[in-house]
A and B are shown apart, each in its own frame.
Chain A
């Protein structure tokens, strides 16, 4: 270990036990109380419901699902920005509620979807990337500048942009800035919330390649939230499929995506439009959009859209049970 005071502070908190999962959720739930006006009573919205996960070090853990399925709420809880109302999240084996927020922020960092909204337009690139250092009071002005330059080189940003403002950068460059900011504290875990869905395909490829390189190089753990299954298949080791706040299928990425078991996962996979001009449009069987999450369907929450519905789907809640090499929450299998 270096005796450099600026580094020792980080290292004192980032010595994870390699045996434990980087992050673990045990029956995590988050309920929001939604009230339309002062007069009407508030209704519970179960944004995340009974989710249990183990996220292993050095792997890419993808969370997929439609908008409104609770992906982003889960991400905010994993970042320690939102407390679960049920269950607990463990960071390196320690309940996250007992971990100091400073320590969480040195271990888990986010990368957001919209690179226009994730950078403060009134700040220079240097100031944006160095924010974590300044917040934690690490290093001097000179050492911060040097560290920002290092990070910019690492993510492929030319050093001449260091005093530029976000409006002078392209979407891809902005996303690189966001990645540099997330990496500067050397966290082990990065929560990527749709990091490429606002970007052009050519830029998306750059960013995905960069994320992959960084992961291999620093043994990073990614929680990769996306609705683009092609991207997920390209990057992920594990996939968790969420529907209306519940985990409905979970397993190794190649298995889940090449041979989906849950009808919802199957439908998601069919919806992926690969650039193959010989194929027509897929026939998607479920006729309607996401049900109102304030008034979820009885039984299996997917049953109104399900093509393989059978007796009991509308009354009994299925449970997440092992099936072949993974977990599935569907009456078809257990």
Chain B
């Protein structure tokens, strides 16, 4: 992999947040990278640190949070040493973010056109006229009919699906090299979800941006992502291409997640769904051992004591568990749709 094609590289990214009860280890030593035109899916339950990871990359963390990393580069530029001002000029410019709720991420008192053009002008990409041209071009690209008329409308005049397309267009105004989409389709209907994702992936093909797709929806990740990072309790527990992760999950958590999902035609009507007992732990204080041990079907004494190493199977493929790679994966065969917890 040449350095040219690497959009984002983060090594040992950690985020700690000061809360009344102590230090919350929201993200611990996450290492990830995204290449040009590639989609990295980050998946996990709520509270596992997915969103904090993306906010840490954008440096949009709450004031009580501290970010540390041994490396954080956007297109070779060191994000750790930049001032807040320099970072602000990168945000919306070479990296953009799409949020879950299109209702709250657009300002209701400004026209759509003004909001789109604002980004462009603020980053010194051109004047108002060029901005308008680009906005109309992008609205057309995201499949909005009669884009020039839409520009003078207000956000409340659009439906949820259209608003999310507006957000995508707004993110693309300055041709960012990295787009982070945090649950971009969770608030949308199924039909709108498929369309919006299609749109995102065709735009990605066209503009060759790197995409980080954060979601709890395994279906979305499986269909969209080239590579997958499964997060649990602030740590990466499994990485690999989406085929590797979904066909041969090596971490009990990934396996549990996959078994939880009803699949039309596969899980029978009388069958029970697999499930993971218990809940995500609070990440406060001194955390030792495997954080998944309270919910794991394969738990043993060893899981409590030591720090669990991340086992690298091959470049880009690894998991954080004491089990052998095939021990857990083998169990999944023919086991779909049954309880993994006794």
Query: Does a CB–CB distance below 8 Å link A and B in the complex?
Result: yes
The chain A residues found within 8 Å of chain B, CB to CB, are: 66-67, 170-172, 200-206, 208-209, 212, 227-231, 233-237, 253-254, 257-258, 267-284, 286-290
A227/B262 in contact, CB under 8 A: no
- A205-B257 Cα distance, complex, nearest whole Å: 10
Mark B148-162 against chain A: 1 for CB-CB distance below 8 A, else 0.
000000000001111
Known: A258-B265, A273-B223. A208 touches B273 (CB 8 A): yes
Main secondary structure of the interface of B (DSSP, over half): helix
**CB–CB B190/A274 < 8 A:** no
| CB-CB nearest 6 A-B residue pairs | A273-B219, A234-B262, A205-B260, A277-B242, A205-B275, A205-B273
Contacts A202-B256, A212-B272 hold; do A275 and B261 have CB atoms under 8 A apart?
A: yes
Q: Known: A208-B262, A254-B269, A284-B191. Contact between A277 and B222, CB under 8 A?
A: yes
Stretch at the interface among B101-109, B193-201, B307-315: B193-201
Q: Which residues from chain B contact A233 at a C-beta distance below 8 Å?
A: 262, 264-265, 267, 269
Other CB < 8 Å A-B pairs besides A202-B256, A205-B276, A233-B267, 9 of them? A66-B192, A67-B189, A201-B260, A205-B259, A227-B190, A268-B191, A269-B264, A276-B223, A290-B159
Q: Is the CB of A287 within 8 A of B194?
A: no
Closest to A305 in B: B191
Alpha-carbon gap, A272 to B275, bound state (A): 21
With most chain A CB atoms within 10 A of its CB, the pick from B201, B217, B265 is B265
B272 and chain A: residue at smallest CB distance: A209
* CB <8 Å contact, A200 and B222: no
Q: What is the chain B residue whose CB lies nearest that of A283?
A: B198
Are A272 and B246 in touch, CB under 8 angstroms? no
A186 to B190, CA, bound (A): 34
| Contact between A66 and B45, CB atoms less than 8 A apart | no
Known: A201-B260, A230-B261. A281 touches B223 (CB 8 A): yes
Closest to B158 in A: A289
Q: Would A253 and B222 count as touching, CB distance under 8 A?
A: no
Counting CB contacts under 8 A, is B243 at the interface?
yes
What is the total of A-B residue contacts with beta carbons within 8 Å?
A: 139
The CB with the most chain B CB atoms within 10 A, among A227, A237, A277, A284, is that of: A277
Chain B hits for A234, CB < 8 A? 262, 267, 269, 271, 273
- Is B221 located at the chain interface by the 8 A CB criterion? yes
Q: When the two chains form their complex, are residues A275 and B222 in contact, meaning their CB atoms are under 8 A apart?
A: yes
B295 to chain A, nearest CB (A): 8
Contact of B273 with A209 in the complex, beta carbons under 8 Å:
yes
Minimal beta-carbon separation of B51 from chain A (angstroms): 14
- CB of B216 within 8 Å of the partner chain: yes
B264 lies within 8 A of A289 (CB): no
Least CB separation from A276: chain B residue: B222
One digit per residue, 1 when the CB lies within 8 angstroms of any chain A CB and 0 when it does not, for chain B 271-287 equals 11111100100000000
A172 touches B279 (CB 8 A): yes
Instruction: Give B11-36 as 1s and 0s: 1 = Cβ < 8 Å from A's Cβ atoms.
Output: 00000000000000000000000000
Q: Is B98 an interface residue (CB 8 A)?
A: no
Q: Is the CB of A271 within 8 A of B269?
A: no
Can you list 16 A-B pairs, Cβ within 8 angstroms, ordered by A? A66-B189, A170-B279, A201-B45, A205-B275, A212-B272, A230-B262, A253-B269, A268-B190, A273-B193, A273-B194, A275-B261, A281-B224, A284-B191, A286-B191, A287-B143, A289-B161
Q: Which of A170, A205, A286, A290 has its CB near the most chain B CB atoms (within 10 A)?
A: A205
Q: Which residue of A lies closest to B192 (CB)?
A: A289
Asked, given contacts A202-B257, A230-B263, A274-B222, whether A281 binds B198 with beta carbons under 8 Å apart, the answer is: yes
Question: Which of B241, B245, B261 has the most A CB atoms < 10 Å from its CB?
Answer: B261
Asked if B7 CB lies within 8 Å of chain A CBs, one says no
Among B161, B189, B217, B221: residue with most chain A CB under 10 A:
B189
B133 cross-chain contacts in A, Cβ below 8 A: none
Contact pick for B191, options A172, A204, A212, A267, CB 8 Å: A267
- A275 and B276 in contact (CB under 8 A), knowing A66-B189, A281-B223? no
What chain A residues lie within 8 Å of B190 (beta carbons)? 66, 227-229, 268, 271-272
Q: For the complex formed, measure the closest distance between the CB of B267 and the CB atoms of chain A, giving whole angstroms.
A: 6
A254 CA to B188 CA, complexed, in Å: 25
| In the bound complex, CA of A283 to CA of B201 (Å) | 12
B247 neighbours in A (Cβ, 8 Å): 277
Contacts of B161 in A (CB 8 A): 289
A284 touches B272 (CB 8 A): no
> Chain A contacts of B305 at CB under 8 A?
none
A155 to chain B, nearest CB (A): 15
